[in-house]
Structure 1
Amino acid sequence: MQIRETNPQFNMQYSSLEIAISHARQTQKGGGFSESISLDIRFTEFTLQSGDFHKRNTHAHGALMTMVEGNQDIKDFLMGLEHEGMLSLKDLGYEGKPILKLSPEEASSLIADGGFFSVENTAKRGADFVLSGAGDDLEMLKAGREGIVKGFEEAEKLWGGKLPDIAYETQKRTLEMIDEKIRSLGANALDLAA
């Protein structure tokens, strides 16, 4: 798996994780593999993946709502162009007309209820990523939830502060879906803050 990111802190964390995974795999081959190290690495990797996925999903969602003049990366993203190491609309599963070529009515339909970038559909993509990756593992669900929260915070930084309101609605709905699964496994609301 390869993740390329413009945030140096994320790259440093991810590089450390890759080194730890490599070391754990080498140790495993030698017969002295530690399950606790393996589990910690698994949680950390899943948390980073969840955060990265949500940050990218939130960034795409915000890009649809706030087109920044003079930012070529966002314009390329909204045109559906693909560049190595950059998120594209196709990466999100969107295969429609390039966003910048949409009429106002077409753009509105994308964020309206049932649209590809609606609160519910965007939240579902983020929650499904965590839920399918974690299954019924409560600790993995919590790690995925934490990744969503951290990814959202990173998206705010990338965006330069406050995101459009629809992004906050989407984050709230994403976390509700994950929290519902956590509760179904017997954890209470206090456990979610841990």
Structure 2
Amino acid sequence: MAIHPISISPKSEMINKTDASSRVAASSADSNEEAAVYEKSNKTDTSTKTYTQDTVTLNEMKKQAEMKLSSFRAVVEKLISMQNVKTGEAQGLSYDQIMKKYDGKLKELYQNLEVDDSTRLNAQQEISEDGYWGVKQTSARAIEFAKALSGGDPSKIALLRNSIEEGYKAAEKAWGGELPEISKQTLEATLKGLDDWAKEASQTTS
């Protein structure tokens, strides 16, 4: 309850300069102060909690991912420019042009690429258990990105989950069939991370 100052006109000020009126004014002020105290509550009002998108984290994650993707794109372009792809002519195409040309049949494209030992070894390290594109790190980044994007709002978990699942389906369509096992494991780990987040949020509010 807001405490409003008592405005006294000059006329009333002259009339009320008595001890009794002073006691009444003091009593009124005390009552207002007590009302303000009683209005406070120790309970947290979660309904008014606001969530703000973590743009700093998002920008940093996007920057890091772009650096990794840039390196990956360069490797794919180099491999294709150095050899004839058995499934079609793709020499001289940029990564984006390759993705467009082979949309829906990327699985066939990559299965027919001849990869040198150095590139193969580097790829194996990247998708290893502790690698940047491994299940553990990739799913952890996905959860961190989801929380930063939503500002940590647990009410958005269902929406985020649906978006991730839709993205996976789109990737399958572009790939031209079921994605590799590591992709399935990453999806499962990411969805589990969202479930764990929802559970933690539920325990906190209860």
Please give the range of the TM-score, normalised by the shorter of the 2 chains.
Answer: 0.3 to 0.5
Compute the TM-score of the two structures, normalised by the length of structure 1: 0.45
> Higher RCO, 1 or 2 (CA under 8 Å, sep at least 6)?
1
